[in-house]
Amino acid sequence: MDYKLNIGGRHLVLGTTIDTDSTLAVSGKQGVALQDGEWDLMPGLYSARNLAEHIGTLLDAVCIQLGNPAAAGVLLDNLEASLSTTAREAVLPASSLDADNTWRAWAERAERIGAKLTQWARESRTIRASEPRSSAVQSLALRSRCEQHLWTAETVRLLMGSAGSPMVMQLYNEYLHQFVLLRDLLLPFANWDVIPIPVGVRRKSRGLREVSEARERFLTGLFTKRLPHRELVRFAQEVLQPGLGEPGYGFQYEAGLVLPAALGCQSITAATPLLRWYPAVLANAESELPGAVIFDYVHDDYEGAPRSWVDDPGYQIGFLSVEEGLQGVREAVIAAQLQLEAGRTTLSYTVMDSQGKAYAVDVGQMLRGYRYMYREAANLPSAETARAQPHDEVARHKPESLLSLPGLVDSQQGGVHLIDTYGNPLILWALIGKLHPANLVLLPSRDPEAITAAQHTGKSFGAKFLLYPAS
């Protein structure tokens, strides 16, 4: 069955649906392995909530060995502080990410995810507190490397008091760090609460520690503001499908697709850097990793892509009737193209008019254009200011004329070009994948004054393409 995204009453077909509920249920021996006094997660696919519950076994062991079930409240309060971004104990303090709105958004996201994980930890502890615990939990012992996570004063009194011990301290350290790893590996995903997470792909580390190195690289990029889209995808691959290879703009793994979250949005007036998990598959590849595919750009450097010029004498703006054009498009399709090499492919985005003519663009270029597009309506000059400044005559184009051209569309003579989208998000996406992205502006409205003001955003040289928004 086709997997379809509903975008403003229209549909984007994105491969074939997979049954993730049954996949999660039978993926492996989910749960906790308690052997020879050690704690680990059994190999399998887990949801974030599954993982929060299973990590809780470490807290149970701490409370049993302290001889104080009520200690869980203090230790959970410490967990909440560690996963917050404002407490003294915060592992990812907001102060390190508060330079601008983009980076503050990451801190706010970390806060929200941490709060939900803490809630799940409290709920699962309440349930388990009334259940009998196995002897394996009571005798649990492990060596946990110090991660320098801060403890609250109450936690210090508990773990370093007369009932504490080096082993109890290490158990709690491991408990905190597993939750920190969980919170951080979820950060790139818009629907982090439902994504299936493979555990045990690499059996060199305990629990979620297998993502530690990738996490360090990701956080370094976050702190230094050097986190391009490809690096975000790299981290997601290391979390969900380690060893997949040099990243593209998205990928497929055993439990679905990972692509930019914007694909499911009707309104793209605000950019999001996040990825989204989609319960679907697009390609069957011959790969050492079953089901794993990397999605590549057709042109890794768009400046090297072939171009068509709207200034060419042969270009026809065209005037089509409603019956002949794309006004009535209700569906677009994303499909995998011929495989480039083992485990790698490209994707096309196709819309079809009422006469059966197909218009296709590269999904990678479409998503690149989305990231590069100017959409800062708040920074546009006022209508009065814009009218007082000189502005170019606007050339108007129909989408069918531009989408019929090969390669990327540009203008050698520059100027301002206004393209209608018919208020259709499916047409808007196709145009974003077709137009050269260097000076692409998404209008905040169809207001004539917005067109005048938009001439003064973006670059002041070269061609400027203005796109009407989707309604």
| Token pair belonging to 192 | 């982090």
The pLDDT of residue 105 is: 87
For position 290, what pLDDT does the model report? 60
Q: Between 140 and 208, where is the model more confident?
A: 208
Share of the chain above pLDDT 90, in %: 64
Q: Report, as an integer, the average pLDDT of 100-113.
A: 87
> Does the pLDDT at position 111 exceed 70?
yes
Quickly state the pLDDT bin for 26 (edges 50, 70, 90).
Answer: very low
* Number of structural domains found in the chain: 1
Quick check: 462 and 438 in contact, CB under 8 A? yes
Determine, yes or no, domain membership for 44. Answer: yes
* Mean pLDDT for all residues in the chain: 87
For residues 74-86, one letter each, b for 16 or more C-beta atoms within 10 angstroms of the residue's C-beta and e for the rest, the string is bbbbbbbbbbbbe
Q: What confidence score (pLDDT) does residue 98 get?
A: 60
pLDDT category, 158, cuts 50, 70, 90?
Answer: very high
Question: Are 83 and 179 within 8 A, CB to CB?
Answer: yes
| 360, 374 contact by CB (below 8 A) | no
**Residues of the chain by 3-state class (helix, strand, coil), percent to 5:** 40, 20, 40
Question: Mind giving me the DSSP string for 143-157?
Answer: ----------HHHHH
pLDDT tens digits, residue range 119-129?
999 999 999 88
Whether 115 is covered by a domain: the verdict is yes
Phi, psi of 289 (to 5 degrees): -110, 110
- pTM, entire model: 0.91
Inter-residue contact 370 to 352 (CB < 8 Å): no
At residue 135, the pLDDT reads: 73
Q: Are 260 and 370 in contact (CB under 8 A)?
A: yes
pLDDT(386) > 80: no
pLDDT at 11: 95
Name the pLDDT band for 177 (thresholds 50, 70, 90).
Answer: very high
* Bridge partners of residue 44, in order along the sequence: 199
- 249 in any annotated domain: no
pLDDT value, residue 435 = 97
Q: Up-side HSE of residue 108: CA atoms within 13 Å toward CB?
A: 8
Q: Which pLDDT value is given to residue 406? A: 95
pLDDT at 28: 45
Residue 462 in tokens: 């070269």
Residue 84 domain flag: yes
Q: Which pLDDT band, with edges at 50, 70 and 90, does 260 fall under? A: very high
Residue 247: inside a domain: no
Indicate if the pLDDT at residue 468 is higher than 60: yes
Q: Is the pLDDT of residue 377 over 60?
A: no
Orientation of helix 101-129 relative to helix 71-83, angle to 10°: 160
- pLDDT tens figures, 144-153: 888 889 999 9
In the DSSP assignment, the letter for residue 435 is: B
Q: For residues 51 and 60, is the Cβ–Cβ distance under 8 A?
A: no
The rounded distance, in Å, linking the Cα atoms of 198 and 183 is 15
Asked if 197 and 241 touch (Cβ cutoff 8 Å), the reply is no
Spatial separation of the C-alpha atoms in residues 280 and 258, rounded to whole Å: 9
pLDDT at 383 over 60: no
Characterise 200 by phi-psi region: left (phi > 0), alpha (psi -120 to 50), beta (else): left
Give the residue-averaged pLDDT of 167-185: 96
| Residue 282, SS3 per DSSP | coil
Supply the pLDDT for residue 384.
Answer: 60
What's the CA angle centered on 282, arms 279 and 286, to 5 degrees?
120
Residue by residue, DSSP assigns 378-415 as GGSPPHHHHHHS--PPEEEE-HHHHHTSSSEEE-SS--
The answer to whether residue 160 scores a pLDDT higher than 90 is: yes
Spatial separation of the C-alpha atoms in residues 437 and 368, rounded to whole Å: 8
Longest dimension (CA), the chain: 88
The tens digit of pLDDT for each residue in 235-249 reads 999 999 998 999 999
36 falls within a domain = yes
Q: What's the pLDDT band for 3 if we cut at 50, 70, 90? A: very high
147 assigned to some structural domain: yes
Assess whether pLDDT exceeds 90 at residue 364.
yes
Which 3 state secondary structure label does DSSP give 356?
coil
Instruction: Single out the residue of 147, 198, 169, 260 nearest to residue 20, CA to CA.
Output: 198
pLDDT value at residue 264: 74
Examine the pLDDT at 270 and tell me if it is beyond 80: no
d(CA 272, CA 437): 17
Residue 286 — very low, low, confident or very high, per pLDDT cuts 50/70/90? Answer: low
Domain of 147?
Answer: 19-212
Residue 270's Cβ-count burial label (10 Å; 0-12, 13-18, 19+) is exposed
Q: What's residue 97's pLDDT?
A: 67
Does residue 50 form part of some domain? Answer: yes
Please indicate whether residue 448 or residue 297 has the higher confidence score (pLDDT): 297
Mean pLDDT, rounded, for 54-76: 94
* CA dist., res. 122 & res. 467, Å (int): 49
Mean pLDDT is lowest, of 87-91, 177-181, 209-213, 375-379, for: 375-379
Tokens of 67: 């001889």
